[in-house]
Structure 1
Amino acid sequence: MKVQNKNIVVTGAGGGMGRQLVLALLNKGAGVAAIDINKEALDETASLAGKNGTNLSCYVLDITNNLAVIETVDVILKQFKTIDGLINNAGIIQAFVGVNELDYDKIDRVFNVNFWGTLYLTKAFLPHLLTRPEAHIVNVSSMGGFMSFPTQTIYGASKAAVKILTEGLYAELKDSAVRVTVIHPGAIATNITVNSGLAGPAVDAGNSKNEGMALSPVIAADLIIKAMEKNKFRATIGKDAWVLDKLYRLSPKIATNFIGKMMKKSLARQGS
């Protein structure tokens, strides 16, 4: 589905990939309903939109609150009249600890944002999307959604749930006008650590160049929109996600052991 002259909803629009998705969609001539829990972050996104801001509306929403989601979707539909696309981008990570050390409230929070938030928005918009001549749902999973990353096990499980949800939706909606794409980003230079309530350095998410080994969210957003416009079933974003996807397909055990070693080294460096 080409995004020009379409109205598209983006969650997690206050920063990182979400912000860059909003700005890129506006540049391509789309109308955007931007959703985020952080009003100040949304205001900054709106400010960065500049002259394209006339095609942008912002909505402060806690996507883990299903009643609030339903109410906000009603407001969006009344304002835009038609919505053609939904990009479920909002997500958080967990603290870098094992399952044994992770409290249940932290586990619930990760699943509430990553999985339930995605499901709530999808369920709320789907009846309307099914009435459109063409429509598209894009759900952002993770490379942690197709293979395990120790000390991010709950995060990975929530993103694996997004993967299966998306692939199931694809099969259920295959004979409709609604296309469905699952996205598996690798390391992206965003402030997801800080936005997840964890300690970490701030990142210049607007930098169009790579941040070390991490891919710029500007480039990531462009690749996600291209996957959407090409109606791809799935897309890996970043060389790391592409390589690990191939390695996991070759041998899940070897891939799991490899990532385990890399995670141990990374955590050791952070602790030193």
Structure 2
Amino acid sequence: MIKHDFKDKIVVLTGAGGVLISQFAKAYADAGAKVALLDLNREAAKRNADEIKASGGIAFAYECNVLKKQSITDARNQIEKDLGTADILINGAGGNSPKATTDNEFHEETGLEDVKTFFDLDEEGISFVFNLNFLGTLLPTQVFAKDMIGKKGASILNVSSMNGFTPLTKIPAYSGAKAAISNFTEWLAVHFSHVNIRVNAIAPGFLVSNQNRGLLFNEDGTPTARANKILSNTPMGRFGEAEELLGGVLYLTDETASSFVNGVVLPIDGGFNAYSGV
């Protein structure tokens, strides 16, 4: 296994109350980093930080609303007091909402009684999903990147999705937001290229999480029709595990391993993006 050394690096992670980003935080702590776990739910972030500290790592938890710049700034100021200024930023906050999700994959002329169609999507739900993912990446970057200018090994990692390459059915706001994050990653990589900040992204394939479990599995634990479609279009024939993202995450933010990698959106997807279905 490749050994990544993040000794004394300060890594800030948004969305760190969740299972996925907390795994990233643990991996950085294991590699010697000091980690700041940010989440709207501070208690969830604190539980994850406490686990890291119990294993001998250095971790602090902070309440942070990634859609409110003042909230992000308040977290940034407290992090500076506790740890110092950020070397690496992981923009991990995001998610979808049923209010921005259609019931049907294809619109038909008939048979749409009691079906939530594209025309029924909630305006506030759409705004929330798009803003949570896109603005929830842009605003933390505005706040934390200022401290990273000119630092050795400074790096930003965004979390895109397979939706950033090809939109999935039913979730137009989420798909659009992830496409925007992929584009924004490339824009930032160019924008910060003269001040020594690299910007890349990962695009996870399909992992089972609390957010999507209801879409992927029936109450009896069998895969839904949507899950079977995903699996049949994933050449490796299975869902990914959160741990399988860690190699890409650490590689892209490791100044020794990827110092000339900039503006990349890395699929970690079991071949889903490469497969045409034929």
TM-score of the two chains, using structure 2 as the length reference: 0.76
Give CA deviations for 1:157-204 in whole Å, capped at 9, x if unaligned: 011111111100111122321111111111122223489xxx998x9x
Question: Separation in 1 of the partners of 2:141 and 2:61?
Answer: 18
What does residue 269 of structure 2 align with? 238
Q: How far 1:234 moved relative to its partner? A: 2.5
In 2, Cα distance between the equivalents of 1:75 and 1:214? 38
Give 2:97's aligned residue. Answer: 94
Q: Which has the higher helix share?
A: 1
Deviation at 1:79, TM superposition (A): 2.3
- In structure 2, the partner of 1:63 is 66
The code of the aligned residue for 1:43 comes to K
1:139 equivalent in alignment to 2:158: yes
- Matching residue of 2:175: 156
Alignment of 1:1-150 (within 5 A): 2-52=5-55, 54-95=57-98, 96-97=101-102, 98-150=117-169
Please report how far the alpha carbon of residue 21 of structure 1 lies from its aligned counterpart in structure 2 after TM superposition.
0.4
Q: Deviations over 1:187-233 (max 9, x none)?
A: 122223489xxx998x9xxxxxxxx8321112223432223223342
When residues 91 and 110 of structure 1 are mapped into structure 2, their CA distance, relative to the original with a 3 A threshold, is same
Distance 2:62 2:240 in 1: 27
CA distance in 2, matches of 1:72, 1:25: 20
Number of matched residues? 234
Q: Could you tell me how far 1:2 is from its partner in structure 2? A: 4.9
Give secondary structure in 1 for the equivalent of 2:158.
Answer: strand
Select which of 245, 260, 263 maps to 1:220: 245
TM-score, length basis structure 1: 0.78
Spell out the pairing of 1:143-222 with structure 2 (5 A cutoff).
143-193=162-212, 213-222=238-247
In structure 2, distance between residues paired with 1:111 and 1:74: 27
Q: What SS does structure 2 have at the residue aligned with 1:192?
A: coil
Offset at residue 131 of structure 1 (A): 3.5
CA distance in 2: counterparts of 1:53 and 1:41, whole angstroms: 19
Range moving further from structure 2, 53-62 or 165-174: 53-62
Distance 1:126 1:194 in 2: 34
Q: Give the direction of change, closer, same or farther, for the CA distance of 1:68–1:50 in structure 2 (3 Å limit).
A: closer
Compared CA separation, residues 154 and 53, structure 1 to 2 (3 A)? farther
**1:73 CA displacement:** 1.4
C-alpha distance in structure 1 between counterparts of 2:46 and 2:147, whole Å: 27
Q: Is the 8 A contact 1:12 1:18 kept in 2?
A: yes
Which 10-residue stretch deviates more, 74-83 or 186-195?
186-195
Counterparts of 1:200 and 1:87, CA distance in 2: 33
1:14-43 deviations in Å (ceiling 9; x for gaps): 122101001111111100010111123113
**Deviation digits for residues 112-153 of structure 1 (CA, Å, limit 9, x no counterpart):** 210111101000011111031220000001010111111011
Percent of aligned positions with the same letter in both sequences? 28
Evaluate the alpha carbon distance shift between residue 53 and residue 104 of structure 1 in structure 2; reply closer, same or farther with a 3 A threshold. farther
User: Does structure 1 conserve the Cα–Cα contact (< 8 Å) formed by 2:154 and 2:196?
Assistant: yes
Partner-residue secondary structure (3-state), 2:86 = coil
Q: C-alpha deviations, 1:30-89, integer Å up to 9, x for none?
A: 000101111231132123214346510100111111221122212212322231000001
SS of corresponding position for 2:16: coil
CA contact (8 A) 2:28 2:35 kept: yes
